Amino acid sequence: MEHGPSQEPQGGERRGSQDLFKDLWSQALVTMGAAEEEVKKLLDRLSEVVEIKPDDVLKYRRELSERLRTQRRDLEKSVEEGLRRALSRLKVPSREEIDALRGKIDDLGARLERLSSRRRAPTGGAKR
């Protein structure tokens, strides 16, 4: 399949955007993980300064960790939905749409091959 010059930069831009998004998303996840660790450290330090039972520290840690996990999931959903809307506005087809088109192309290719084979097949009353 041959690509015209106008198609190459767009694909390159799309690839660059995808790589940039992956990098940013990875950084966000690392930051959230670091925040969770920082909360654990702060709770440990707080328990040393203020009289908090070790069991309560563990309870607070679990509660805060669960909140962070919930917020991370919510953030992921929001980002995914935002990307879906942005890509839709840019008229970028979804993976499902591309897969459906590939299936149609494969079907058409198979039909063309069958038609081509029929034309090449010798007929019973053919003259030379």
Q: Which long-range contacts (CB under 8 A, 24 or more apart) does 118-123 make?
A: none
d(CA 85, CA 94): 11
Q: What is the pLDDT of residue 26?
A: 80
DSSP-assigned letter for residue 128: -
Q: Determine contact, residues 68/35, Cβ cutoff 8 Å.
A: yes
Type of residue at 24: L
Record the pTM. Answer: 0.44
Angle between helices 7-49 and 54-89 (to 10 degrees): 160
Length of the chain: 128
Residues 6+ apart with CB under 8 A from 65: 36, 39, 40
H helix runs in the chain, sequence order: 7-49, 54-89, 95-120
Give buried/exposed letters for 60-82 (b at 16+ CB in 10 A, else e).
bbeebeeeeeeebeeeeeeeeee
Per-residue pLDDT of the chain (128 residues; tens, 9 = 90+): 444 444 434 445 556 667 777 777 788 878 877 887 887 788 777 777 777 787 887 888 888 888 888 888 888 888 888 877 887 787 778 888 999 999 999 999 999 999 999 888 766 555 54
